[in-house]
Amino acid sequence: LLRGAGGLTAWLAPPQAWAWRPWRADAVRQTDWVGCVLPHAAAWYRRQRVPADFVGHPLASAPPLPPGRPEVVALLPGSRPGTAARLLPLMLEAAARLRREVPSLEVVWGRSPGLAPDLPDGWPAWARVADGARAALRQAGSAWVGAGTATLDAVLAGRPCVVVARLDPAAEWLAKRLVRVPAVGLPNLVLGRRAFPECVLQDCTPAAIAAAALGLLHAPETWAPSVEAVRARLRRSDWGGEVATHLLRLLARRAPPMLRASPASPAAGARERGGSDV
């Protein structure tokens, strides 16, 4: 409606149509400018004839969390009740298996606020609960994370992760035909390689999760370069300023010619010199 009335429209962090349901790009294409927080998303949207730019990720400019305890793992199965109910038992069983090799292992579930406060039956003594993902990550040295934006949040917080994804049979059948990405974890997509282990669909078993996590526990320092590489790839010195610059350029297209700043104008020259023309 706004664009039809002659207004300008911008879309920050558009849908992940590059991963699935690509037809959603049709709606995004109606905007005058799109700001993407992932570099591969901007490249994909440009191929769909969408005026998109990569502006950096806001969390990449924030400092990572202080180091956590290496023997503590954050369990982040997701915020949706169905996903959490599907992944949390797998994670707990994987942790029980891993404790046979690492008896000091503890886990902390970052329970999302929208989930029921009751603990599942048979909750083990070596498992704790924290209020939300951030609180769990603060205690842990690594994380097991349900596929989605939380994987990127964990790595940007300074925690290497095992990416976990399991769907019901019908959804798995559909995902195999609609999902168009070489990896599921966003950190891996950002780097263009599987830097962090993934246990996905039929390969998402307690045994596979435990095996993948063993490397994070035994040699956590080997993952530091990949964690920093993700931060460096997404970081901008001034994320808010980057977005504002693009928005000002967009507004300048509609400004009357007499109001458009020109590098040769006295006002622009004064600004470049740090002075004023008044």
Alpha-carbon span 152 to 146, nearest angstrom? 11
Alpha-carbon span 43 to 202, nearest angstrom? 31
The domains located in the chain, with CATH, are 10-56+236-256 (no CATH), 69-233 (3.40.50.2000)
C-beta atoms surrounding 33 within 10 Å? 18
Tens of pLDDT, residues 103-154: 999 999 999 988 887 888 889 999 999 999 999 999 999 999 998 899 999 9
Q: 75 — phi, psi (to 5°)?
A: -100, 115
Alpha-carbon span 255 to 195, nearest angstrom? 46
User: H helices within the chain, ranges in order?
Assistant: 25-28, 39-47, 81-98, 133-139, 149-156, 169-178, 186-191, 206-218, 224-234, 239-254, 266-273
Tens of pLDDT, residues 149-170: 999 999 999 999 999 998 655 4
Of all helices (H) and strands (E), which one includes residue 73? strand 69-76
Ordered DSSP codes for 112-163: -TTS-SSPPTT--TTEEEEESHHHHHHHEEEEEEESSHHHHHHHHTT--EEE
Alpha-carbon span 198 to 180, nearest angstrom? 16
- Flag whether pLDDT at 266 surpasses 50: no
Give the contacts of 153 (CB within 8 A, at least 6 positions apart).
59, 133
Which residue from 121, 123, 153 is spatially nearest to 136, judged by alpha carbons? 153
Alpha-carbon span 118 to 120, nearest angstrom? 7
Tell me the average pLDDT of the chain.
Answer: 84
Tens of pLDDT, residues 178-230: 455 557 889 999 999 999 999 987 789 999 999 999 988 877 778 999 999 99
Q: 238 — phi, psi (to 5°)?
A: -145, 90
Mean pLDDT, residues 15-40 taken together:
86
- Flag whether pLDDT at 19 surpasses 80: no
Alpha-carbon span 198 to 185, nearest angstrom? 7
